[in-house]
Amino acid sequence: MAHFVPHTEAEIEAMLGFLGLESLDQLFDHIPAAVRLATGLALAPGRSEADVLDHMGELAARNRPCGTGMGHDRLVCFAGGGAYEHEIPSAVSALARQSAFLTSYTPYQPELSQGVLQALFEYQTMLCRLTGTDVANASLYDGASAAAEGLNLAAAATGRRLVWVSEGVRPAARAVIATVCGPRLEIREAPLVDGVTAWPNDLGEPAALLVAYPNYLGALEDVAAAAEWAHAAGALLVADADPVAAGLLHPVGALGADIAVGEGQPFGTPLAFGGPYVGLFAARDARFVRRWLPGRLVGEGKDASGRRAYVLTLATREQHIRRAGASSNICTNQTVVAITMALHLAWLGPAGLRELALRCARGARYTREALLAIRGVEMATPAPTLYEFAVRTPRPAAIVLERLAEDGFLGGLELEPDYPELGQALLVTVTETRTRADIDAFAIAFEKAVA
């Protein structure tokens, strides 16, 4: 059994003696007998560290993970759709694992927490520069929850409850929005035409429009037009911005988005079966901040002797102060994942981020050309794309994916369940991790799979 509790029997006896008690049972005597558990929990007995590792290793061995260069039965990944395989610099993973970051609590005591606070301040600054905004919070749970909070903020700031969500927003994120915002907001979806959002002529009186850039099908939406359209209707534009694409594309704030949200997983965080990731949240207009911004904010101030000091600030928006009147219920966020992202962004620098996005786009173009050369494979939409794209396949995507897996590829994501209008279609994603050899082999397997 594990020995995470240090107490020896002699020590327990001494402490009980000090308390005038004879047994540990007596510590629970004041609890009504009717609700006390008569027998122990029906769980397996505790195991040694080595046994736990063996057991977890056996479970892990029943998965077919993505990756290259490790041998085994790994899949070469051409899937994305909100979770991406990127190279993770050794320096970034080593730094993110430091126990001072990993095992500290929320930095309520600034004198003991300057490391985490400063790292978050730097994260906030980098996120603002990435999205062309003025203020970023210290993270939310994931891209989906960030989008939901963006709509909540817009509703609070405009005093309206109708929101328009583009069907180009990731389907699972739209599902989360429906669950989280459903009780208080009226949610309507704007359809995709030729791969990009067709906002309705009559928007009514909306609080917000939500658009993804690039969208789930990889297409480049006209964010500036969406912003104009939103503002003309008195609404805010919330843009779900891909932070990797930001290496090449205009920042959404510069295109007129009022709130930028997104998923920060691509920077330093492995696929990890979907979590923990990090929800990005930033706003262009500092007006929103004091009252409505959800989540923690780190500010720079001074200590008693005038030294530079970082501190959690503007807490009057938050649940622990405002309770029922808070801008959000969020307490725990994804701090160490946000710090990881900031470390990775600093490792890249502006030139590295540009190069990363460029390499993804080059790989995608090379892959697209190779796939389109296969008989019966065509683009599912005409809109320009960056590093993800949708292709129609002559066979059902589920079967194509299954056959590709037999040849060692995770070939993409099936689109038909969420976008029946596209027919048999597959979302293919290419990152900087894919070499020409990977792509050539993928194209050969793809041709076999659709035959």
Partner 1 sequence: MTGAAPVPEILRRPSGGRASSLPLMGRDAEPGIFELSSAGRHGFSFRATEVPEWTAEELVPASHLAPQPPALPEVSERDLVAHASRLASRNYSIDHGAYPLGSCTMKYNPKICDAVASLPGLTGCHPSQPASQVQGWLALLAALERDLSEVTGTAAATLQPAAGAQGELTGLLIMRAWHSWKGRAPTKVLIPDSAHGTNPASVRMAGYEVVDVPSDARGLVDLDALRRVVDSDVAGLMLTNPNTLGLFEADIEPIADAVHAAGGLLYYDGANLNAILGRVRPGDMGFDIVHLNLHKTFATPHGGGGPGAGPVAVTERLAPFLPGPLPRQVAGEEAGTTERYRWVMPERSIGRIHGWHGNALVLARAYAYILANGGDGLRHAAECAVLNARYLKERIRGAYDFPFDGPCMHEFVASSAALRRAHGIKALDLAKRLIDEGFHPPTMYFPLIVEEALMVEPTETESPQTVEALARALIAVATEAAADEGAAARSAPHSTPIGRVDEAAAARHPRLTWSP
Q: Which of residues 407-446 bind partner 1 (CB under 8 A)?
A: 410, 413, 432-437, 439
**Cα–Cα distance list, 8 to 23, 26, 149, 176, 365 (Å):** 14, 18, 48, 48, 64
Which of 22, 175, 198, 204 touches partner 1 by CB under 8 A? 175
Which of 314, 379, 399, 441 touches partner 1 by CB under 8 A? 314
Min. distance of Cβ 21 from partner 1 in angstroms?
Answer: 8
**Applying CB under 8 A, does 368 fall inside the site for partner 1?**
no
Instruction: List the beta bridge partners of residue 240.
Output: 212, 261
**Cα–Cα distance list, 429 to 215, 217, 381, 412, 426 (Å):** 13, 10, 15, 7, 10
Q: Give the span between the Cα atoms of 313 and 94, in whole angstroms.
A: 29
Which of 105, 234, 406, 417 touches partner 1 by CB under 8 A? 105
**Applying CB under 8 A, does 249 fall inside the site for partner 1?**
yes
Q: Which is nearer to partner 1, 326 or 379 (CB)?
A: 326
Min. distance of Cβ 202 from partner 1 in angstroms?
Answer: 27
Q: Which of residues 253-312 bind partner 1 (CB under 8 A)?
A: 254, 263, 270-277, 289, 296-305, 307-309, 311
Question: Amino acid letter at 142?
Answer: D
Which of 161, 291, 354, 392 touches partner 1 by CB under 8 A? 354
Min. distance of Cβ 91 from partner 1 in angstroms?
Answer: 5
Which of 156, 161, 172, 416 touches partner 1 by CB under 8 A? 172
Which of 22, 97, 188, 200 touches partner 1 by CB under 8 A? 97
Q: Which is nearer to partner 1, 47 or 234 (CB)?
A: 47
**Applying CB under 8 A, does 242 fall inside the site for partner 1?**
no
Query: Near partner 1 by CB under 8 A, which window of 62-70, 194-202, 373-381, 415-423?
Result: 62-70
Query: Near partner 1 by CB under 8 A, which window of 154-162, 229-237, 338-346, 371-379?
Result: 338-346
Query: Near partner 1 by CB under 8 A, which window of 155-163, 192-200, 230-238, 334-342?
Result: 334-342
Q: Which is nearer to partner 1, 102 or 451 (CB)?
A: 102
Tokens of residue 319, six digits: 């649940």
Q: Which is nearer to partner 1, 194 or 202 (CB)?
A: 194
**Applying CB under 8 A, does 194 fall inside the site for partner 1?**
no
**Applying CB under 8 A, does 396 fall inside the site for partner 1?**
no
C-beta separation of 281 from 295 below 8 A = yes
Q: How many CB atoms lie within 10 A of CB 374?
A: 19
Q: Give the span between the Cα atoms of 353 and 196, in whole angstroms.
A: 26
**Applying CB under 8 A, does 70 fall inside the site for partner 1?**
yes
**Applying CB under 8 A, does 382 fall inside the site for partner 1?**
no
**Applying CB under 8 A, does 346 fall inside the site for partner 1?**
yes
**Applying CB under 8 A, does 379 fall inside the site for partner 1?**
no
Q: What is the DSSP string of 189-246?
A: EEPEETTEE---S---SEEEEEEEES-TTSB---HHHHHHHHHHTT-EEEEEE-TTGG
Which of 161, 231, 291, 362 touches partner 1 by CB under 8 A? 362
Which of 141, 229, 288, 446 touches partner 1 by CB under 8 A? 141
**Cα–Cα distance list, 223 to 253, 261, 426, 436 (Å):** 10, 14, 25, 32
Q: Give the span between the Cα atoms of 115 and 127, in whole angstroms.
A: 18
422 DSSP assignment: G
Q: Which is nearer to partner 1, 236 or 356 (CB)?
A: 356
**Applying CB under 8 A, does 353 fall inside the site for partner 1?**
yes
Q: Which of residues 216-235 bind partner 1 (CB under 8 A)?
A: 220
- Dihedral (Cα; 256, 385, 352, 144), 10-degree rounding: 60
- Residue 239: closest CA among 304, 290, 169, 305: 169
Radius of gyration from C-alpha coordinates of the chain:
25
C-beta separation of 306 from 284 below 8 A = no
